[in-house]
Amino acid sequence: MKRLCVIAGDGIGAEVVPVAVDALRRLLPDLATESAEAGWGCFERSGSAVPEATLTSMRACGAGIFGAVSSPSHAVAGYRSAILTLRQQLSLHCNLRPIRSWPVISPRPHIDMIILRENSEGLYIGRERMDGEGRAIAERQITRKASEKLAQRLAEVAALRNARRITLVHKANVLPLTCGLFRDSARQVLAEAGWSECVDERLVDVAALQLVESPERFDLIATTNLFGDILSDLACHWSGGLGTAPSLNWGDGIALAEPVHGSAPDIAGTGRANPLAALLSAALLLRYYWHLPALADRLESAVANFLQDAGTVDFGDRTTRTIADGVLARLG
Ligand code: NAI
Ligand code: MG
Query: Among this protein's residues, is 233 annotated catalytic?
Result: yes
Please, which pLDDT band fits residue 279 given cuts at 50, 70 and 90?
very high
Q: What is the CATH number of the domain that holds 140?
A: 3.40.718.10
**Do 70 and 160 belong to one domain?**
no
**Conformational region of residue 110, where left means phi above 0, alpha means psi within -120 to 50, and beta covers everything else:** left
| Among 169, 291, 297, CA closest to 226 | 169
CA 96 to centroid of ligand 1, rounded, Å: 18
- Among 211, 238, 265, which residue terminates a domain? 238
Measured from the Cα of 39, ligand 1's closest atom is: 40
Ligand nearest to the CA of 277: 1
Please choose, from the candidates 16, 86, 28, 14, the residue with its C-alpha nearest in 3D space to the C-alpha of residue 290.
28
286 and 305: one domain?
Answer: yes
Q: Which of 219, 238, 257 is the last residue of a domain?
A: 238
What is the distance between the alpha carbons of residues 323 and 310, in angstroms, rounded to a whole number? 9
Nearest partner of 40 among 3, 13, 1, 6, judged by Cα: 13
The reply to whether 155 and 244 lie within a common domain is no
Residues 149 and 249 in one domain: no
145 with 249, same domain?
no
Instruction: Spell out which residues line ligand 1, taking CB within 6 angstroms.
Output: 12, 16, 68-71, 83, 242-243, 258, 261-267, 273-274, 277
- Contacts of 297 by beta carbon, 8 Å cutoff, 6+ apart: none
Same domain, 214 and 147: yes
Q: Are 118 and 94 in contact (CB under 8 A)?
A: yes
280-306 confidence digits (pLDDT tens):
999 999 999 999 999 999 999 999 999
Residues 160, 180: one domain?
yes
Same domain, 260 and 228: no
- Residue pLDDT, tens place only, 110-122: 999 999 999 999 9
Tell whether 226 and 114 lie within a shared domain: yes
Residues 228 and 121 in one domain: yes
- Residue range 83-88: average pLDDT? 94
CB 108 within 8 A of CB 215: yes
Name the average pLDDT for the chain: 97
Q: What is the pLDDT of residues 173-213, one digit of tens each?
A: 999 999 999 999 999 999 999 999 999 999 999 999 999 99
Confidence of residue 11 (pLDDT cuts 50, 70, 90): very high
Which of the four pLDDT bands, split at 50, 70 and 90, describes residue 43? very high
Phi, psi (5° rounding) for residue 110?
Answer: 65, 25
From the candidates 10, 22, 149, 171, give the one annotated as an active-site residue: 171
CA distance 324 to 202: 39
**Residue 73 reports pLDDT greater than 90:** no
pLDDT value for 80: 87
pLDDT, position 64:
98
> Residue 132 belongs to what domain range?
107-238
DSSP, res 197: G
**The total number of structural domains that make up the chain:** 2
| Domain boundary residue, one of 203, 238, 273 | 238
Q: Ligand 1, residues 50, 74, 263, 280: which to mutate, most atoms within 8 A of Cβ?
A: 263
Shared domain check, 53 and 131: no
Ligand 1, closest atom to CA 266? 11
- Cα dihedral across residues 203, 236, 232, 75: positive or negative: positive
pLDDT of residue 184: 98
Q: Average pLDDT, stretch 30-52?
A: 97
- What's residue 81's pLDDT? 87
Residue 332 — pLDDT band, cuts 50, 70, 90? confident
Check residue 122 and report its DSSP letter.
B
Closest protein CA for atom 30 of ligand 1: 262
In this prediction, residue 262 carries a pLDDT of 95
pLDDT surpasses 90 at 78 = no
Clarify whether residues 8 and 60 are in a common domain: yes
pLDDT tens by residue, 128-180: 999 999 999 999 999 999 999 999 999 999 999 999 999 999 999 999 999 99
Write down the catalytic residue from 145, 184, 205, 252.
205
